[in-house]
Amino acid sequence: MLDIQLEQTDSYTLCRPVGELDAFTVSQFRQSLAELASTPRLLIDMSAVPFLDSAGLGALIGGIRRARELGGDVAVACNRTTLVRLLRTTGFDRIVTVVDTVAEAAAALQQPTEAT
């Protein structure tokens, strides 16, 4: 079972999936990210995700791509060692900011974006 918690602050929209992100739950996550794609600043907190498979990673990458295509900025907070290792091994951390805490991710979203 996957629960997706959403929270709006003055500075960003927080999307916090809670539960495993796998082939069985990915459609719900993908739909939530699609609905949030037009958000100027999106913070995805992966700290409550104990497991992420390739389907979940694909949904995460697709959601970030859509948000950026619409001019938004995205940061990911994740303090789970296994997930951070996966994100770094796949090069995910080179396309989006990945930090340990929501506070660090929020701070990253406040920084001016660099032209790539």
What is the average per-residue pLDDT within 29-55? 95
Alpha helix (H) ranges present in the chain?
A: 26-35, 54-69, 81-89, 102-110
**Separation between Cα atoms, residue 95 and residue 97, nearest integer Å:** 7
What is the average per-residue pLDDT within 28-54? 95
pLDDT of 25 over the 90 cut: yes
Domains of the chain, start order = 3-110 (3.30.750.24)
pLDDT at 1: 85
pTM: 0.92
For the stretch 51-85, pLDDT in tens is 999 999 999 999 999 999 999 999 999 999 999 99
pLDDT at 28: 95
